Structure 1
């Protein structure tokens, strides 16, 4: 008489629950081998399951077997290990009219001594060769929910499986379930780590491509713009030569207009190239050193004297001497040159410009070191409206009244000033001047021991 059984003696076993069933003293080495195998980190998850299953099948004298685990979405079973390697990776829907689906749904182990006598699982095809089988659930150590099933079928000696065989498989399942869960989590973490590594490499590759493309494009633009300077210088020189050779009043007016336009274009080119150079600067590209900013200001004031006389502008300068800041002399020169040129541009003929350098506290409480040098350039020009004070340092920004009055400019000078000041660890802002125009103020870290005016 054939017997199909649902085993009720236990649903899982742990290492401390080894009473009853097969003689576990004889099986200790087999189980230990499997546990040690599953604990290894140098083998892929699937390989560990495959080797562990083969050890178990050899001990039980079974011809066939498999380990099936729930997919991540908990809707199907995937063959993770099998005595028939071609089945590994096969995914099937969970159906209670299959042995694995039934055990998964009920959570109970199943021993079938003769499958031909069981109407629920009777073979549906002539090629089905299994006669006796055991299916046991694999339970999570956290919460006890079913992770999958382990199946063995058909003893090599032709005898049906018995309760001792079923208890041995249950013990095996109890030992390996926590290890399987940990291994699977470890494998998922490893896969995620590998995926992020690949993603990081792809992002780095794209970033490098974008960086190279941007640099190449910027270099090309700078090269082309720089090449404009040579023919433009020839045009300016030709205009100067024509004026020197002597022309009539009408010709002089035409040549003067052309010369002014060429010089404005040259200034725009120089501003563009200087902006590109400043944009490329980082605080770790140049080395800060003590710089006498009072000397830098005096030198730039000397260079602009001719323009001041031509415009009949009054310039008052108060700087003291030996006022040291931590900075870069070329950047500081360009900073002050832009501020002074800006004041000259926006101050009408006969107007006033004032430059002053003092020691002072940090602007609006931003002084972190307690030793700052403050200088400003103010004028009697049109000033900067309140609505534009926060935007005037942005790239290509220009005050509306300057545009309305036709004052030439590219809107990059003050942008470069802010860039330089930030690189030097200072601050820059604009406020209204007592002279009626704008007052551009700069604070930079001072070096102890400089003169106090």
Structure 2
């Protein structure tokens, strides 16, 4: 069967037709000679035999070709969807790159203007810095997607203090939350005597950063909370927000690449729609799982868990 799959379709179906036809002629003629001695009856049966062969092979090849065409249509459908997503992705990339670049170039030119006050210079430099940070995040996401696509991602396990990690993330995202006028806090911590795990620190930080960035981005009032706990052989993490929530029909696709919760809302927010897919990929690379609980208009809670120790059979 595997050999047949490697043969081109037109060659395979021709070979099948010839083999079936040859075997049918050989064995049916032999059977007639052994069971019937009347030449007239043999002649009549030869006619029936021919029609029987035509009908049976017609039915067989109908379903065989039908199945092959269904696979081709499904492949074509997936290819078109992939092309559509890639086109939308490239279009979005051009917009995302152009926005921070315009900020960097525009305000760099303004800094050359004479008679600027110290306050104006500070404001322009701050805008250039934020635009540069946004550009760096974009590039990091593109590099991550590229590595995931080519399978070049490797896990580097090290000891991680989860309380220190939570504090670092909190301080890193506090400014972003304050700018939106929402609260950001840690509501659950591991116990101090049980707060270390072995994982890839860069990946774990990226997972939580993507979840925090996503929650802050889609939350305009209320707040975002983050927490972690160690339960047996797994470390459990969550990021909860009071944002726009996710429609029920979108939940199964929210971790798909280039997807945001609502395409209409999407245009009002920055991002390529790949952060959650990167987070999911990183979680699964570390032998964990990720899920989301959400209702439209009622916020979302993203949760994931990973083993606390390096897998025994991992090289």
Equivalent residue of 1:305, what SS? helix
The equivalences for 1:16-415 within 5 A come to: 232=101, 235=105, 238=108, 241=111, 245-246=116-117, 267-281=137-151, 285-317=154-186, 318-320=188-190, 321=192, 323-348=195-220, 350-360=221-231, 371-400=233-262, 403=265, 406-415=268-277
Once the two structures are superposed, residues 389-421 of structure 1 have per-residue CA deviations (whole angstroms, 9 ceiling, x without a partner) of 110000001111663661122110000000000
Change (3 A) 1:375 1:248: closer
Q: Does the aligned pair in 1 maintain the 2:199–2:309 contact within 8 Å?
A: no
Q: What is the alpha-carbon root mean square deviation over aligned residues?
A: 4.6
SS in 1 for 2:253: coil
Normalising by structure 1, we get a TM-score of 0.40
> For residues 74 and 302 of structure 1, do their structure 2 counterparts lie closer, same or farther at Cα, with a shift above 3 Å needed?
closer
Moved over 6 A (4+): 72-75, 253-263
Distance in 2 of aligned mates of 1:264 and 1:287 = 26
The alpha-carbon deviation at position 309 of structure 1 amounts to 2.5
Mark the CA change 1:356 to 1:257 in structure 2 (over 3 Å): closer, same or farther. closer
The answer for the alignment partner of 1:9 in structure 2 is none
Instruction: Tell me the TM-score normalized by structure 2.
Output: 0.55
Q: Corresponding residue for 1:138?
A: none
Partner residue, 1:13: none
Q: What is the count of residue pairs matched by the alignment?
A: 217
The verdict on how the C-alpha distance between 1:390 and 1:234 changes in structure 2, with shifts beyond 3 A counting, is same
CA distance in 1 between counterparts of 2:226 and 2:21 reads 76
Q: Which has the higher contact order (CA 8 A, sep 6+)?
A: 2
Q: Are the equivalent residues in 1 in contact too, given 2:246–2:299 (CA < 8 A)?
A: yes
Structure 1: give runs of 5+ residues left out of the alignment.
1-71, 76-104, 106-220, 361-369, 449-453
Determine if contact 2:207/2:279 at 8 Å carries over to the other structure.
yes
The structure whose residues are more often helix, as a share, is 2
**Contact persistence 1:279–1:419 (CA under 8 A):** no
Give the Cα–Cα distance (whole angstroms) in 2 for the partners of residues 276 and 236 of structure 1.
Answer: 30
SS at match of 2:155: coil
User: Which of residues 278, 285, 292 in structure 2 aligns to 1:423?
Assistant: 285
Following the alignment from structure 1 to structure 2, what is the Cα–Cα distance between the partners of residues 240 and 280? Answer: 42
Q: Deviation of residue 310 (structure 1)? A: 2.2
